[in-house]
Amino acid sequence: MPPARPLSLVTGASAGIGAAFARALAARGHDLVLTARRRERLDALAAELQQQYGCTATVLAADLADPAAPSALCAELDRRGLAVDWLINNAGYGVPGSFTANDWRTHADSLQVLLTAPVELAWRLLPGMRERGYGRIVNVASLAGHVPGTAGHTLYAPAKAFLIKFSQGLTLESREHGVHVCALCPGFTYSEFHDVTGTRALMNKLPGFMWQSANAVVSEGIAAVERGAAVHVTGRVNRTIKRVFKLMPDRLAFRLSARQGRRYRQAD
């Protein structure tokens, strides 16, 4: 049985899908720990949620590109006596341009945020969930993890594919302990993601039916992890795209993905 007021840790909570998760979970009666780099945004969101829903919203600003951040974050949770019931591994971003167009530090930081931080947070928080017999982990992956890789944003899709496999493995290890793990795989979502990567003008060329709101993505994600789905692709359009690519011969799928990628990737 879940606690009367579950505590949810949301990474990348300052905007987009992370902020939408925070709002949706507060509306469900959760208390929150919000983390991201931009403390002023977190403070504003925490005040909004506390006033609207009467929850407790704790702000712990952190940069998950720092390898020490996950352990420091969990140490602070322990110091405050906060036991996390829901972990929303949402923090992430893409690095535009080709692989060699960026320096190694840029790639290393992105891999730390996309891969190492979510895995470490799960490793540190999962034992407590199992001991209490209840927990939920949502690893925000992407439709990109289900289709062939493209030129540009070279590490993003591989990182998301890793999160999908990681979530499947954790599901098999954890479900008998009352812990559900889900890789949530949205497609194009209205958020700051493409503004940060400088590809907004290119993305605006996509037809409207390709896009989902962050609230819609989050609604599907919460329902999926609650029912025990190890992987969930959001939206009928995205699920259709996944099925089509799965049915194609590998060579054809690769060629199609490469052609589409050239239309919507930023040149060096």
- Give the confidence band of 149 by pLDDT, cuts at 50, 70, 90: confident
CATH of residue 12 = 3.40.50.720
87 domain-assigned: yes
pLDDT of 204: 64
Residue 165 CA to residue 78 CA, distance in Å, equals 29
* % of the chain beyond a pLDDT of 70: 90
Sign of the Cα torsion 63, 69, 73, 76 reads: negative
Range of the domain at 244: 7-264
Residue 6 CA to residue 92 CA, distance in Å, equals 24
How many domains, in total, are found in the chain? 1
Q: Is the pLDDT of residue 268 over 70?
A: no
pLDDT digits (tens, 9 = 90+) for 223-241: 999 999 999 999 999 999 9
Residue 228 CA to residue 167 CA, distance in Å, equals 11
Q: Is the pLDDT of residue 254 over 90?
A: no
Q: Which of 93, 156, 190, 264 is catalytic?
A: 156
Q: Is 190 a catalytic residue?
A: no
136 domain-assigned: yes
40 domain-assigned: yes
* % of the chain beyond a pLDDT of 90: 79
pLDDT digits (tens, 9 = 90+) for 188-213: 887 655 445 555 555 566 666 677 99
Q: What is the CA radius of gyration of the chain?
A: 18
pLDDT digits (tens, 9 = 90+) for 112-136: 999 999 999 999 999 999 999 999 9
Mean pLDDT to the nearest integer, 85-112: 96
1 domain-assigned: no
2 domain-assigned: no
The structure tokens listed for 187 are 């497609």
